[in-house]
Amino acid sequence: MAVATNAVPVIPNVQFDAPLIRKLSQQGPRYTSYPTADRFNEAFGMGDYLQAVNNVRAMGARNPISLYVHIPFCDKLCYYCACNKIITKNRSKAEVYLTYLKREIEMQGKLFADMNTVEQLHFGGGTPTYLSHEQMGELLAHLHKWFRFAPDEAGEYSIEIDPRTVSPERIHALRSQGFNRISFGVQDFDPDVQKAVNRIQSEELTLGVMNAAREAGFRSISIDLIYGLPKQNLVTMNQTLAKVIAASPDRISIYNYAHMPALFKSQRRIAEEDLPSAETKLDMLSLCIKRLTDAGYVYIGMDHFAKPNDDLAIAQRQGRLHRNFQGYSTHAEAEMVSVGVSAISAVGSTYSQNEKTLEAYYERIEQGELPIVRGTKLNVDDLLRRIIIQKLMCNFELSIRSLELAYPITFANYFEKELAKLRELEIDGLLTLDEDWLTVTPKGRLLIRNICMVFDRYLGMKREEPLQRLRYSKTI
Ligand code: SF4
């Protein structure tokens, strides 16, 4: 089924070039932040965060607030998972967690009192619906007690859903509780693939909750898929794509499975001989792009597709797209306040991350402290490179003139070394460069991380190089 757009036909804005991808695919960051989280340091602490909030207040607190709430628990382990999660069936753990989470929300709410309204809320995990309907209601009431929220029509309030944990009734309840965007973890509809990753989720169940979301009036429905999983091949992928297109979600994310068993213990349960070869993975990616663009979806960038009339695609056309820890967003320039174990905030020109274990997280809150364990303060060079990476990731182009007007630099001098590398990528056909513009070509869009990596000052630094290479996934 093709996407109904009521608009002019969509010309695919991305081009798959297998030889180029083979030549240039390498390990690299996903740039949900710059500097990337592995560059945060423990010299940054709560005092630095408080200073950042004070600076935001002193500057007139012009930006809205984006809240992220991390619920780390899951019932069952999916073998491919690389998230920060805790597998437990012991529901009392969530009760304890909520008491601390509420204390952290109160502390953050007091800090941001009388500042701006919340225009974005995102519940992620783990599995946010590990919480019962009642627990979710109490948590939301607590958030509303400490923060002012924009009305439903002006705010983007989203939640990640594991369809195995919800009924259609629960989906309606989540809409009544204020969520207006929803994303469903599907990964693959094929039963053998599901078995190989320990995530059995019937098609009927997934489609049932998606229908419920539509009936309940969610403004945007998203599906997450993964390519490169064990037992996947072109036939299974084609069948899954046909089912996804027929279900007609507003947004589709297709992530590349990065098999890194040395780093993620759960991935050791995946039989390596079941994994598709690198060539098959490339063919699957090519198939995904072809089928989705043929069906009318627009390639937003970095694994994301959307219907042309979805907010993300509209924001991209208007140059308003933004990228943060949750991926792409239509709300630029928000202060991102994140609560929960391991959550990362972005306030003013800082990033800060919470304690990564429950024990340490609870202990810090017991002491009446914000549980910040590390972070970084961006210097002028970081801010400049961050804006460049943002623009490239979101708009696939960079106005060199605008940058020179906004910052006291001459691009050709400041980025002399980078320009030499960009010229090589230009010869490869990833981009075009002139005095005014850096423009990413349709071929280069799939390799956007390679282009951004040119501007990442830290990648060239020796310090954590061996670890770095281990931690990043392949750019394709
Ligand atoms: S993929 Fe999602 S549901 Fe599965 S273990 Fe990871 S966080 Fe939990």
Domain residue ranges of the chain, discontinuous segments joined by +: 12-35+379-476, 39-336
Task: Tell me how far the alpha carbon of residue 29 lies from the centroid of ligand 1, in angstroms.
Answer: 21
Looking at ligand 1, which residue's alpha carbon is closest to its atom 2?
126
Those residues whose C-beta lies under 8 Å from the C-beta of residue 198, and which sit 6 or more positions away, are: 76, 77, 78, 79, 269
Q: Which atom of ligand 1 is nearest to the CA of 160?
A: 2
CB of 78 closer than 6 angstroms to any ligand 1 atom:
yes
pLDDT at 132: 96
- Give the pLDDT confidence score for residue 471 in this predicted structure: 59
Topology annotation, domain 12-35+379-476: Arc Repressor Mutant, subunit A (1.10.10)
The ligand 1 atom at the shortest distance from the C-alpha of residue 80 is: 1
Three-state DSSP string of the chain: CCCCCCCCCCCCCCCCCHHHHHHHCCEECCCCCCCCHHHCECCCCHHHHHHHHHHHHHCCCCCCEEEEEEECEECCCCCCCCCCCEECCCCHHHHHHHHHHHHHHHHHHHHCCCCCCEEEEEEEECCHHHCCHHHHHHHHHHHHHHCCECCCCCCEEEEEECHHHCCHHHHHHHHHCCCCEEEEEEECCCHHHHHHCCCCCCHHHHHHHHHHHHHHCCCEEEEEEEECCCCCCHHHHHHHHHHHHHHCCCEEEEEECCCCCCCCHHHHHCCHHHCCCHHHHHHHHHHHHHHHHHCCCEEEECCEEECCCCHHHHHHHCCCCEEECCEEECCCCCEEEEECCCCEEEECCEEEEECCCHHHHHHHHHCCCCCEEEEEECCHHHHHHHHHHHHHHHHCEEEHHHHHHHCCCCHHHHCHHHHHHHHHHHHHCCEEECCCEEEECHHHHCCHHHHHHHCCHHHHCCCCHHHHHHHCEECC
Q: Which residues contact 393 (CB under 8 A, 6 or more apart)?
A: 31, 301, 302, 323, 448, 452
Ligand 1 touching residue 125 (CB < 6 A): yes
- Reading the block at residue 476, the tokens are 């394709």
CB of 229 sitting under 6 A from ligand 1: no
pLDDT of residue 321: 87
Structure tokens at 144: 């509303």
Ligand 1 contact via 224 beta carbon (within 6 Å): no
Report the distance separating Cα 206 and Cα 167, nearest Å. Answer: 10
Note the pLDDT of residue 26. 83
Quote the ligand 1 centre to 445 CA distance (angstroms): 29
What is the rounded distance in angstroms from the CA atom of residue 221 to the CA atom of residue 250? 5
10 to each of 254, 292, 297, 343, how far by Cα in Å?
20, 11, 8, 38
Which is the closest atom of ligand 1 to the Cα of 162? 3
Task: From the CA of 185, give the closest atom in ligand 1.
Answer: 2
C-alpha 267 to ligand 1 mean position (Å): 12
User: Which segments in the chain show pLDDT lower than 50?
Assistant: 2, 4-10, 463-470
In DSSP terms, which residues pair with 375 in a beta bridge?
Answer: 41, 352
Atom of ligand 1 nearest to the CA of 74: 8
Residue 257 C-alpha to ligand 1 middle, in angstroms?
14
Ligand 1 pocket, mutate which of 76, 77, 80, 85 (most atoms under 8 A from CB): 85
The per-residue pLDDT for range 245-274, each reduced to its tens digit, is 999 999 999 999 999 999 999 999 999 999
Q: Does 74 contact ligand 1 (Cβ within 6 A)?
A: yes
Structure tokens belonging to residue 326: 């949750």
C-beta 446 within 6 A of ligand 1: no
Which atom in ligand 1 lies closest to the alpha carbon of residue 199? 4
- Atom 1 (ligand 1) nearest CA: 81
Pair 205, 163: CB distance under 8 Å: yes
Q: Determine contact, residues 126/72, Cβ cutoff 8 Å.
A: yes
pLDDT at 326: 74
Whether 77 lines ligand 1, by a CB cut-off of 6 Å, is yes
Phi, psi angles (nearest 5°) of residue 272: -60, -30
Query: Which pLDDT score is estimated for 4?
Result: 45
Pairing of strands 251-256, 220-227: parallel
So what's the pLDDT on residue 322? 84
For residue 27, what pLDDT is reported? 82
**Ligand 1 binding pocket includes 81 (Cβ within 6 Å):** yes
Question: Which contacts (CB < 8 Å, 24+ apart) does range 286-290 have?
Answer: 286/16, 286/18, 287/234, 287/237, 287/238, 287/241, 288/225, 288/227, 288/237, 288/241, 288/254, 289/12, 289/14, 289/16, 289/446, 290/16
CA 128 – ligand 1 centroid, Å: 10
According to CATH, the topology of domain 39-336 is: pyruvate-formate lyase- activating enzyme (3.80.30)
Residue nearest to atom 4 of ligand 1 (CA): 78
Cα 76 to middle of ligand 1, angstroms? 7
